[in-house]
Amino acid sequence: MERILKEKIRETLKVLYNSDVPEDLIQIQETRKDFRGDFTLVVFPLLRYSKNTPEKTGENIGSHIASTFPAVSGFNVVKGFLNLEISDEWWMDYFRKIASESDLLQRCQVKSPEVILVEYSSPNTNKPLHLGHIRNNLLGFSLFRILSACGHKVIKTNIVNDRGIHICKSMLAWQKYGNGETPASSGMKGDHLVGKYYVIFEKELKLQSGELMAKGIAEEDARNSAPLMKDAREMLLKWEAGNKEVMDLWKMMNSWVYAGFDETYRKLGVDFDKIYYESETYKIGRDLVLTALDKHILYRNTDSSIWADLDAEGLDQKLLLRSDGTAVYMTQDLGTAVLRHEEYGFNRCLYVVGNEQNYHFQVLKALLKKMGYDWSDGLFHFSYGMVELPEGRMKSREGIIVDADDLISEMITTARDVSQELGKLSDFAEAEKDEIFRKIGLGALKYFILKVDPKKNMTFNPSESIDFNGNTGPFIQYTYARIKSVFRKADQTGIRSDTGDYTGIKAGEKEIALIRLLRKFTDTVSEAANNYSPALVANYCYELSKEYNQFYHDFSILGEPDPARRSFRLDLSKVTSAILYSGMNLLGIEMPERM
């Protein structure tokens, strides 16, 4: 309708003012809820053509449109805004069209689809996935589905940080204090076991550095000169030199971690098309750095370390290879970016990484540009806010984290407890109940995280996320299940639930309001893709659920005696359920048919 209105307004402006007004000056938006109307024209940019007041210009345009375009049933002017009311007949015609379409997401298809890489997860192999990783994975996977729905070819990628000093810390601690403990002997998931030794390393290092600090050595110097830290740095040098003993230990412990990660990803319902490993891509990055050094793009410091001078870009100096020749994170990111572009020739690459890394990605983009890779303009840092707990931030070194596996289990248990307390599902078989509890628990977790604007920090409170009322995943799932129960009852009572003829039916105000909201679905998905914001889809699903529940409360569906009107309301329910299913699926949330 916005496109049609723009055309009609341009025609009107030609008639009234004999002017061909540029399309970008015809600004149409949805009418605010506190004003009467469906669409609003911003009049101010048109005053140069009307040579009149905003109010008079709006009146003239509104009168002409209402008299020449039957879909506009009325209008009003508020200062410089022309509010146009769309006729109920147009809304009914529109609804009949979408009710006959099998996949409304076809309306989101872009004219020029792109190849887009989305990198998410990016775990370290020295600890298990935690709540922060959950937000990362859910955002990345949802972006993949939303961008794919708009017709783009999207490749899901992951970069595993499997090398560096932090990895050596876990390895060294296991070597010193592990006594041969394995996932099999301990009964622990492999990623949890390795994370345990990362925490042990930090505790032992704290003791050693504390002893040095007691002798008057500054904290940072004490930490760096502690025997345990020296041993970790020595292990890193042996790793980069390919020492067999260190490499065998590294491969064994990483295999434990990968098995643990895979199990968590499966529980969370996310996956990847390609997984890259820093242990491989840092070599490509190191070669790029050395080549750039030979071309005098980079410089060597007096201690033999290699740096980039990014003062001209406003980004200061950046270390790329340490004096001992070992690589930093930036080095592997350079190698990964170049390798990915060689493999996929992407138009865009989205890095789903927390906002504490904003500077890192500014430097990455500037470095690639400096090295002559103009495609680096297509790199985007999808910067999201941190997840905190009601009691504050998580601390991996101290083991103060919310483990992803534990949280998933807790959410499913909470879903079971809340459902049983409300007396839901009492007549269901145990296996069916378990599956529904899983969907509710994970739906609550995913929705609570994805409904928040990605740019904002958020506090995750599990007890608030599972509620069958309010802006929650279970509320939307329950609305969907409620609609499905309507159709089951229709089948049981012999009422036809397929599309019928309801031509001539005059819809009520609540029914038209529901149709208006159904129309916004594809626009919302397109906006979410353009703005990289799954929160738009999440909150749309909530608004649609609220609107449908008001309709359900105010109108009889199966009890409606008029077959045509009953058929219309069944179709309203059918389209609503299809959109809720599709919208939540874009968020990676499963919808139970019964609750």
Contact 187, 159 (CB under 8 A): no
- Spatial contact of 201 and 172, defined as CB atoms under 8 Å apart: yes
- What pLDDT, on the 0 to 100 scale, is given for residue 133? 94
pLDDT of residue 438: 95
Strand-pair category, 72-78 with 317-321: unpaired
Q: Which two tokens stand for residue 424?
A: 């839901």
- Count of alpha carbons within 13 angstroms of residue 480, beta-carbon side: 26
CB–CB of 595/424 below 8 Å? yes
The closest alpha carbon to 488, from 588, 558, 541, belongs to: 558
Measured from the Cβ of residue 214, the count of other Cβ atoms closer than 10 Å reads: 9
318 bridge partner residues: 308
Instruction: Burial-class residue 548 by CB neighbours within 10 Å (0-12, 13-18, 19+).
Output: buried
Q: Do residues 378 and 349 make contact, with C-beta atoms less than 8 angstroms apart? A: yes
Q: What angle do CA 434, 435, 440 make, to 5 degrees?
A: 95
Domains of the chain: 2-86 (3.30.1360.70), 120-388 (3.40.50.620), 404-586 (1.10.730.10)
DSSP 437-478: HHHHHHHHHHHHHHTS-TTS-EE--HHHH--SSSSSHHHHHH
CB within 8 Å of 229: residues ≥ 6 apart: 205, 223
Q: How far apart are CA 232 and CA 237, in angstroms?
A: 9
Q: Which residues pair with 354 in a beta bridge?
A: 384
Q: What is the predicted pLDDT for the residue at 171?
A: 97
pLDDT tens for the chain, residues 1 to 595: 888 999 999 999 999 999 999 988 999 999 998 899 999 999 999 999 999 999 999 999 999 999 999 999 999 999 899 999 999 999 999 999 999 888 889 999 999 999 999 999 999 999 999 999 999 999 999 999 999 999 999 999 999 999 989 999 999 999 999 999 999 999 999 999 999 999 999 999 999 999 999 999 999 999 999 999 999 999 999 998 999 999 999 999 999 999 999 999 999 999 999 999 999 999 999 999 999 999 999 999 999 999 999 999 999 999 999 998 888 899 999 999 999 999 999 999 999 999 999 999 999 999 999 999 999 999 999 999 988 877 655 454 444 568 899 999 999 998 888 887 777 677 788 898 999 999 999 999 999 999 999 999 998 877 788 777 889 999 999 999 999 999 999 998 888 766 567 877 888 889 999 999 999 999 999 999 999 999 999 999 999 999 999 999 999 999 999 889 999 999 999 999 999 999 999 999 999 998 8
pLDDT at 400: 55
- Identify the pLDDT of residue 531: 96
What is the structure's pLDDT at 550? 94
Give the separation between CA 578 and CA 353, rounded to whole angstroms. 32
How would you class 290 by CB atoms within 10 Å of its CB: exposed for 0-12, middle for 13-18, buried for 19 or more?
middle
Beta strand spans in 71-179 (E): 72-78, 81-86, 115-119, 153-160
